[in-house]
């Protein structure tokens, strides 16, 4: 099980952990950022940067409680950074609170640092033939874990010396016996990884972070600030107390540190460390030793108290060292160093290289194309996915570490496209629903109209017949002739209405043949120009010469165009323009025909009523309200659509969509039966 794991229900796809992970040891599965155990360094950067607290660290409290309740002696080994982890609480009270928790002894890991320093000085003075320079210090487990897994060619540069934690663990086992339980307490997650290392087994039995220690205190209702003061147990440390701050190793080891001394390089922080290691690989560094820490000093470890800033934490460490140095018994300290100098502090490192598959260029191209990156200019390299470049991201996808949904710009574009598609589908659904309502309405009215037309037509015929007979029997000067003629005219008007009703209610049989839509338009224009109503109307026809032939009932389509032109003329009593345009959209399979006028327009509240039978805004006797419903029915029988847009005072535009079909048989398959009877 990995030292660091993801709490899935808290992970919110921010990818900050991926961005901060120096080893890219986090893969994304179904949106969850999961730690890959074999790749993980345990540095804890992902824990530190996760605002959702979605990263959990291996819990050492359960084992520690078991040790404290057991029969074996249990010793707390507290890291040199502890003064900055508990600001405002004296070291003596911290020791007292640890012993109140049940620890039999509390020892400073700083003495282990003092021992390790001797080994480094010895290494620099005597040298080792198998080592290469510059020598990389190995007190920070995240450093040597990175080298073993990602830069194994630098293993010969790693100092073969254990960390201060392991050193003090071995000393304590020597003092109190191998059955003693040793618990390291510090700010570092990587120490939990180091505890598992076969090279350091039997030195440390458990690792607690400062946060875990505080949790145990809370559980036991122990308040360190109120604890009875206690003293650290021997062996006591000296300069090793400076280990957790930048350059602390050099200072505590008594090595010269000067910015002009190229033999020694001191640096910290993962970005600088990775660049430094690259420089070492490329033979760009001419130094004897590299003093390096993956965090910006142990005082910036992931489980420090961050209520203080970096400089305040550093000040706590320096002050503690100065205060203790004044009371340190140097002779006793030196005797202890001499006593434990033969403690085994050597270790080896091994090649654990993580072999990632290197994709071919065409595979990278294919992956990038999947997120709409077809050209180098499309690659934003924004880092939102957690990877520095789009190329790195594509490589991670190839190796199964990343998913397509991690590309934030692509995801936004995809969501926008889906939103547009959804909006378009909703509009189409609304239009279809409106058309179904209209069809049902027209069908019902059509059935009624057919019955009414049948019942009215017979008595109307009788009225006209008898009126005609009476008219023939009357003398030319009979004053009642005018009344009979009025009866005849009104009867003819009724007959016209009945004829419209029958046209509206008829079965809608189409007589289909291939025709040129432009010919139908020009035929209509020629016929209308001769009528008095169109003397002040100008027709503007924009008809491309390459329009495809359509399978139509041209007489019925002619009637549609005629109705639209008549309505446009009535909307322009003082004259105006009727602009007719045709556009062919072969991709959508439609021809679009528009009739646009610059007349008085239609009020918004009337737009939804235009295709309803008998709806008209004309004066009584001037219209039946059947022209547009009949046009609607004819267009629908042709498997087309008709739409209207209008603004009062600016004009109206009717748009007709007719399908482009290649032959009559296909039309029969596609055409819609439009039956009002």
Encode pLDDT of 614-653 as tens digits: 777 665 555 566 778 888 888 888 888 899 999 998 999 9
Domain count, the chain: 5
Are 35 and 132 within one domain? Answer: no
pLDDT of residue 507: 46
What CATH number is associated with residue 487? 1.10.287.130
* Percent of the chain whose pLDDT exceeds 70: 90
Radius of gyration of the chain (CA): 46
What CATH number is associated with residue 22? 3.30.70.20
Are 487 and 515 within one domain? Answer: no
Q: Is 628 domain-assigned?
A: yes
d(CA 248, CA 79): 14
d(CA 640, CA 672): 9
| E strands, 570-673, in order | 576-585, 590-597, 641-647, 651-659
User: Does residue 146 register a pLDDT over 80?
Assistant: yes
d(CA 405, CA 363): 18
CB of 35 closer than 8 Å to CB of 2: yes
Judged by average pLDDT, the poorest of 37-46, 54-63, 323-332, 407-416 is 407-416
CB of 9 closer than 8 Å to CB of 63: no
pLDDT of residue 598: 92
d(CA 674, CA 116): 95
Q: Cis (ω within 30 of 0) for the bond into 235?
A: yes
d(CA 415, CA 404): 13
Are 153 and 292 within one domain? Answer: yes
Are 187 and 310 within one domain? Answer: yes
Are 105 and 243 within one domain? Answer: yes
The position carrying tokens 């206690």 is 230
641-647 and 651-659 as β-strands: parallel, antiparallel, unpaired?
antiparallel
Say what the pTM is.
0.63
DSSP annotation string for 80-145: TTHHHHSTTS-HHHHHHHHHHHT-SEEEETHHHHHHHHHHHHHHHHH--TT--SSEEP-SSHHHHH
Are 43 and 92 within one domain? Answer: no
Of the residues 463, 491, 506, the one at which a domain ends: 506
d(CA 347, CA 203): 12
Nearest partner of 385 among 9, 12, 18, judged by Cα? 18
Are 154 and 198 within one domain? Answer: yes
Are 541 and 667 within one domain? Answer: yes
What CATH number is associated with residue 75? 3.40.950.10
Nearest partner of 592 among 498, 658, 668, judged by Cα? 658
The residues, any chain, with a CB within 8 Å of residue 667's CB and separated by 6 or more, are 512, 551, 639, 661
Q: Is 492 domain-assigned?
A: yes
The three-class DSSP label of residue 489 is: helix
Judged by average pLDDT, the poorest of 75-79, 278-282, 366-370, 672-676 is 672-676
Are 85 and 188 within one domain? Answer: yes
Q: Cis (ω within 30 of 0) for the bond into 59?
A: no
Of the residues 506, 538, 568, the one at which a domain ends: 506
Q: Is 348 domain-assigned?
A: no
d(CA 85, CA 79): 10
Band of residue 348 on the pLDDT scale cut at 50, 70, 90: very high
72-77-83 Cα angle (round to 5):
145
Per-residue pLDDT of 563-593, as tens digits, reads 899 999 989 989 999 999 999 887 778 899 9
Q: At what angle do helices 627-637 and 554-570 cross, to 10 degrees?
A: 150
Q: Taking residues 596-615, report their average pLDDT.
A: 85
Which tops the pLDDT comparison, 480 or 499? Answer: 480
Are 242 and 270 within one domain? Answer: yes
d(CA 168, CA 310): 27
The CA distances from residue 151 to 132, 135, 278, 281, 396, in Å, are: 14, 14, 9, 8, 18
What CATH number is associated with residue 652? 3.30.565.10
CA dihedral 16, 18, 20, 25 (to 10 degrees): 150
User: Does residue 594 register a pLDDT over 90?
Assistant: yes
Of the residues 58, 77, 100, the one at which a domain ends: 58
Are 150 and 282 within one domain? Answer: yes
User: Does residue 393 register a pLDDT over 60?
Assistant: yes
CB count in 10 Å sphere of residue 229 = 12
Q: Is 446 domain-assigned?
A: yes
The position carrying tokens 């045709």 is 582
39-43-46 Cα angle (round to 5):
85
Are 455 and 486 within one domain? Answer: yes
Q: Is 441 domain-assigned?
A: yes
Nearest partner of 263 among 250, 272, 253, judged by Cα? 250
Which helix or strand (DSSP H or E) is residue 185 part of? strand 181-186
Q: Is 251 domain-assigned?
A: yes
Per-residue pLDDT of 207-248, as tens digits, reads 999 999 999 999 999 999 999 999 999 999 988 898 888 777
Band of residue 445 on the pLDDT scale cut at 50, 70, 90: low
Band of residue 671 on the pLDDT scale cut at 50, 70, 90: very low
Q: Is 136 domain-assigned?
A: yes
* Range(s) of the domain holding residue 24: 1-58
Q: Is 45 domain-assigned?
A: yes
């Amino acid at each position: 099980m990995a030292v660091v794991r993801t709490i899935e229900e808290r992970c919110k796809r921010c990818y900050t952990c991926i961005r901060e992970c120096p080893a890219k040891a986090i893969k994304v599965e179904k949106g969850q950022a999961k730690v890959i155990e074999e790749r993980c360094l345990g540095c804890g950067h992902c824990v530190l940067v996760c605002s959702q607290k979605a990263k959990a660290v291996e819990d050492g409290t359960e084992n520690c409680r078991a040790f404290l309740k057991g029969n074996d002696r249990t010793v707390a080994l507290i890291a040199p950074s502890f003064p900055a982890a508990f600001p405002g609480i004296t070291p003596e009270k911290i020791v007292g609170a640890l012993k109140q928790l049940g620890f039999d002894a509390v020892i400073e890991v700083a003495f282990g640092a003092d021992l390790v320093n001797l080994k480094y000085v010895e290494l620099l003075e005597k040298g080792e033939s198998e080592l290469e320079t510059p020598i990389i210090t190995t007190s920070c487990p995240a450093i040597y874990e990175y080298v073993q897994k990602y830069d194994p060619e630098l293993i010969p540069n790693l100092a073969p010396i254990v960390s201060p934690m392991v050193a003090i663990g071995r000393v304590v086992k020597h003092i109190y016996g191998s059955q003693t339980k040793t618990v390291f307490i510090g700010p570092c997650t990587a120490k939990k990884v180091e505890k598992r290392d076969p090279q350091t087994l039997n030195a440390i039995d458990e690792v607690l972070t400062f946060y875990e220690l505080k949790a145990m205190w809370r559980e036991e209702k122990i308040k360190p600030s109120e604890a009875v003061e206690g003293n650290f147990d021997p062996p006591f440390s000296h300069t090793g107390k400076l280990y957790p701050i930048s350059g602390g190793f050099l200072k505590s080891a008594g090595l010269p540190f000067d910015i002009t001394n190229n033999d020694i390089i001191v640096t910290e922080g993962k970005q600088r460390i990775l660049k430094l290691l690259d420089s070492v690989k490329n033979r760009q560094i001419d130094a004897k030793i590299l003093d390096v820490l993956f965090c910006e000093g142990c005082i910036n470890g992931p489980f420090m108290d961050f209520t203080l800033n970096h400089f305040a934490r550093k000040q706590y460490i320096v002050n503690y060292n100065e205060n203790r140095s004044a009371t340190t018994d140097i002779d006793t300290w030196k005797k202890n160093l001499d006593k434990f100098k033969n403690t085994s502090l050597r270790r080896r490192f091994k090649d654990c290289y993580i072999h990632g598959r290197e994709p071919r260029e065409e595979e990278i191209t294919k992956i990038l194309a999947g997120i709409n990156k077809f050209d180098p200019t499309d690659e934003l390299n924004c880092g939102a996915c957690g990877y520095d470049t789009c190329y790195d991201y594509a490589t991670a996808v190839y190796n199964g570490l990343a998913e397509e949904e991690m590309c934030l710009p692509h995801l936004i574009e995809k969501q926008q496209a889906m939103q547009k598609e959804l909006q378009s589908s909703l509009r189409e659904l609304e239009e279809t629903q409106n058309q179904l309502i209209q069809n049902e309405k027209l069908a019902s009215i059509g059935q009624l109209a057919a019955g009414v037309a049948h019942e009215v037509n017979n008595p109307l015929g009788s009225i006209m017949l008898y009126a005609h007979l009476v008219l023939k029997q009357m003398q030319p000067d009979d004053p009642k002739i005018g009344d009979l003629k009025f009866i005849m005219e009104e009867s003819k008007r009724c007959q016209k209405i009945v004829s419209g009703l029958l046209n509206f209610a008829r079965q809608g049989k189409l007589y289909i043949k291939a025709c040129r839509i432009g010919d139908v338009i020009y035929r209509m224009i020629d016929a209308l120009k001769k009528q008095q109503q169109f003397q002040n109307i100008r027709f503007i026809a924009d008809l491309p010469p390459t329009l495809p032939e359509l399978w139509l009932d041209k007489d019925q389509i002619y009637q549609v165009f005629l109705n639209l032109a008549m309505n446009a003329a009535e909307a322009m009593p003082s004259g105006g323009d009727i602009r007719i345009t045709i556009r062919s959209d072969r991709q959508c399979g439609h021809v679009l025909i528009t009739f646009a006028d610059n007349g008085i327009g239609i009020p918004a509240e009337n737009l939804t009523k235009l295709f309803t039978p008998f709806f008209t805004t004309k004066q009584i006797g001037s219209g039946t309200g059947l022209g547009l419903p009949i046009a609607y029915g004819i267009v629908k029988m042709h498997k087309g659509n008709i739409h209207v847009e209008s603004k009062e005072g600016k004009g109206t535009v009717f748009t007709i969509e007719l399908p482009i079909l290649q032959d009559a048989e296909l039309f029969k398959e596609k055409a819609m039966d439009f039956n009002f009877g």
